[in-house]
């Protein structure tokens, strides 16, 4: 089980797979604090598109939830922000890589430890 209290930072890479060239969007965690739910089963944070205008107010609220050994993502990035999307997980000593793959797109969400 992943301990959400140990995370210090998140970043996300979203890749749209096109026939002639892939489009990559990079998101970084804002200065807003990480919020871990009282039961320890979810973490909420804000992401900002680092490729957009620096004055842009485009922020994405993101929640990663744990249910048994499964993980889910809810995000205002998606049309239905309350829809839980299942994540694949890879854990290393320094980070966790959550992956969400769809048709012609893939999202990599990296969570970094203390």
Residue 1 has pLDDT above 90, yes or no: no
pLDDT mean over 21-25: 91
pLDDT on residue 30: 86
Among the listed residues 78, 59, 79, the one whose alpha carbon sits nearest the alpha carbon of residue 10: 59
Burial class (CB in 10 A: 0-12, 13-18, 19+), 43: buried
- Which pTM was predicted? 0.90
Please count the CA atoms within 13 angstroms of the CA of 42 that sit on its side-chain side: 14
Say if residue 51's pLDDT is above 80: no
Task: List pLDDT tens digits, range 63-101.
Answer: 999 998 899 999 998 999 999 999 999 999 999 999 999
pLDDT band at 53 (very low <50, low <70, confident <90, very high): low
């Amino acid at each position: 089980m992943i301990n959400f209290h140990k995370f210090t930072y998140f970043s996300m890479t979203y890749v749209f797979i096109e026939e002639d060239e892939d489009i990559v969007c990079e998101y970084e965690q804002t200065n807003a604090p990480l919020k871990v739910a009282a039961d320890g089963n979810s973490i909420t944070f804000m992401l900002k598109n680092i490729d957009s205008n620096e004055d842009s107010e485009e922020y994405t609220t993101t929640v990663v939830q744990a249910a048994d050994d499964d993980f889910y993502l809810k995000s205002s990035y998606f049309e239905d922000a309350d829809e839980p999307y299942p994540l694949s997980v890879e854990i290393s000593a320094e980070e966790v890589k959550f992956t969400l793959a769809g048709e012609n797109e893939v999202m990599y969400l990296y969570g970094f430890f203390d």
